[in-house]
Chain A
Amino acid sequence: MGQITRLLTWDNLFLGGVVLAVIYLAIIPVAVMIFGSLQSGLPGTFTPLTVRNYVAAFGEPLLYRSIGNTLVYSVGAGIISFSLGTYLAWLTERTDVRFKGFIYVSVLTAMMIPGVLFTISWILLISPRAGLVNVYLNALFGVGEGLIDPYGMAGMIFVSGIDDFYTPFLFMAAAFRSMDPALEEASTIAGAGTRTTFFRVTLRLMMPAALGVWLLIFIRGLEDFEVPALLGIPVGTYVLSTEIYLTVRRPPSDFNMAATYSMFYLGVAMLGLYLYHRWTRASDSYAVISGKGYQPRVTSLGRWRPFATLSAMGLLAVAVYLPLVVLAWTSFLPWYGPPSAALAKAMTLENYLWLAEDDLVLSSLKNNLIVGFAAAAVVTLFAAVVAWIVIRTRLPGRRLLDGLAFSGTAYPSMVLGLALIWFYLTVPIPIYATLWILIIAYVTKRLPVSVRICSAVLVQVNRELEEASSVAGAGFLRTFTRVVLPLLVPGLFVSFATTLTISFKALSIPILLGHAGTELMPLLIFDLFESGEYPKVAALGVATIVVITFATAAARLASRRVGVTAPG
Chain B
Amino acid sequence: MIEVSHLLKTFAGGDVRAVDDVSFTVAAGTIFTLLGPSGCGKTTTLRSVAGLERPDAGAIRLFDETVFSSDARVFVHPYRRRVGMVFQSYAIWPHMTVMQNVAYPLRGREFSRGEIRERALKALEMVNLGELTERPAPALSGGQQQRVALARAIAGDPRILLLDEPLSNLDAKLREEMRGQIRQLQRKLGLTSLYVTHDQVEALSLSDVIAIMDGGKLIEMGTPRDVYLHPRSRFAAQFVGLTNVVPGRWQATEEHGLARVETPFGPIRYAAAESESFAAEDAVLVLIRPENIRLSPGSAAGDSNAWSGRVASTTFLGEFIDCEVACGDRMVRARVSPFHGVEEGAEVQLRVEPDRCSVIADSPAM
Contact = CB atoms under 8 A, between A and B. Distances in A.
B105 A472 contact: yes
A473 B108 contact: yes
Contacts of A472: 79, 104-105, 152, 156
A465 to B, nearest CB: 5
A250 to B, nearest CB: 54
A467 B78 contact: yes
Interface stretch (B13-21, B85-93, B228-236, B290-298): B85-93
A528 to B, nearest CB: 45
B338 interface: no
Interface in B100-140: 104-105, 107-109, 138
B73 interface: no
Contact of A471 (B79, B95, B108): B79
A563 B138 CA distance: 10
A394 to B, nearest CB: 10
Interface string A470-481: 111111001100
Interface string B40-82: 0000000000111000000000000000000000000111111
Contacts of B79: 470-475, 479
B145 to A, nearest CB: 12
A49 to B, nearest CB: 44
B108 A478 contact: yes
A483 B91 CA distance: 11
Contacts of B152: 468, 472
Contacts of B309: none
B267 interface: no
A469 interface: yes
B95 A470 contact: no
Nearest to B96: A486
A489 interface: yes
Given A470-B79, A472-B156, A473-B156, A487 B94 contact: yes
A344 to B, nearest CB: 55
Nearest to A486: B95
A481 to B, nearest CB: 12
Contacts of B91: 462, 464-465, 467-468
A478 B81 CA distance: 16
Nearest to B109: A473
Contacts of A478: 108
A562 B94 CA distance: 10
Chain B contact residues: helix, strand, loop or mixed: loop
Nearest to B95: A486
Interface string B172-211: 0000000000000000000000000000000000000000
Contacts of B80: 473
B216 interface: no
B84 interface: yes
Contact of B50 (A469, A471, A489): A471
A479 B85 CA distance: 16
B110 to A, nearest CB: 12
A470 B52 contact: yes
A464 B88 contact: yes
Contacts of A470: 51-52, 77-79
A489 to B, nearest CB: 7
A419 B94 CA distance: 44
B83 interface: yes
A464 B87 CA distance: 7
Contacts of B50: 467, 471
Interface residues of A, number: 21
A467 B87 contact: yes
Contacts of A462: 89, 91
Interface string B134-170: 0000100000000000001000100000100000000
A472 B152 CA distance: 8
Contacts of A479: 79
A563 B95 CA distance: 10
A488 to B, nearest CB: 10
Contacts of B95: 486-487, 489, 562
Given A486-B95, A489-B95, A467 B52 contact: yes
Given A478-B108, A563-B138, A471 B93 contact: no
Nearest to B102: A472
Interface in A465-523: 465, 467-475, 478-479, 482-483, 486-487, 489
B147 to A, nearest CB: 15
A487 B77 CA distance: 23
Contacts of A482: 104
Nearest to A461: B94
A468 B94 contact: no
Nearest to B80: A473
B82 A473 contact: yes
A468 B108 contact: no
B88 A474 contact: no
A483 B96 CA distance: 9
A468 B109 contact: no
A462 B88 CA distance: 11
Contacts of B78: 467, 470-471
Contacts of B88: 464
A475 B104 CA distance: 12
A467 B105 CA distance: 12
A479 B105 CA distance: 11
Nearest to A479: B79
Contacts of B94: 487, 563
A474 B85 contact: no
A541 to B, nearest CB: 39
B104 A469 contact: yes
A468 to B, nearest CB: 4
A280 to B, nearest CB: 27
Contacts of B89: 462, 464
A474 B94 CA distance: 17
Nearest to A470: B78
Contacts of A467: 50, 52, 78, 85, 87, 91
A473 B81 CA distance: 8
A479 B79 CA distance: 10
A90 to B, nearest CB: 36
A468 B104 CA distance: 10
Contact of B93 (A465, A473, A563): A465
B78, B81, B89, B108 — most chain A CB neighbours (10 Å)? B78
B87 A468 contact: yes
A522 B156 CA distance: 55
Q: Counting chain B CB atoms within 10 Å of each CB, which of A468, A470, A487, A489 scores highest?
A: A468
B4 to A, nearest CB: 17
Q: Among B85, B91, B138, which residue has the most Cβ atoms of chain A within 10 A?
A: B91
A484 to B, nearest CB: 10
A527 B52 CA distance: 58
B138 A471 contact: no
- Residue among B79, B80, B85, B105 with max Cβ neighbours from chain A (10 Å): B79
A468 B149 CA distance: 9
A420 B105 CA distance: 46
B99 to A, nearest CB: 14
Q: Which of A467, A469, A471, A563 has the most CB atoms of chain B within a 10 A radius of its CB? A: A471
B120 to A, nearest CB: 12
A482 B80 CA distance: 18
Closest 6 CB pairs of A and B: A472-B105, A468-B91, A464-B91, A486-B95, A464-B87, A470-B78
Given A471-B162, A473-B79, 14 more contacts: A462-B91, A464-B88, A465-B91, A467-B52, A467-B91, A468-B152, A471-B78, A471-B83, A472-B79, A472-B104, A473-B156, A474-B107, A479-B79, A487-B95
9 contacts: A465-B91, A467-B50, A467-B91, A468-B87, A472-B104, A472-B156, A473-B82, A474-B108, A487-B95
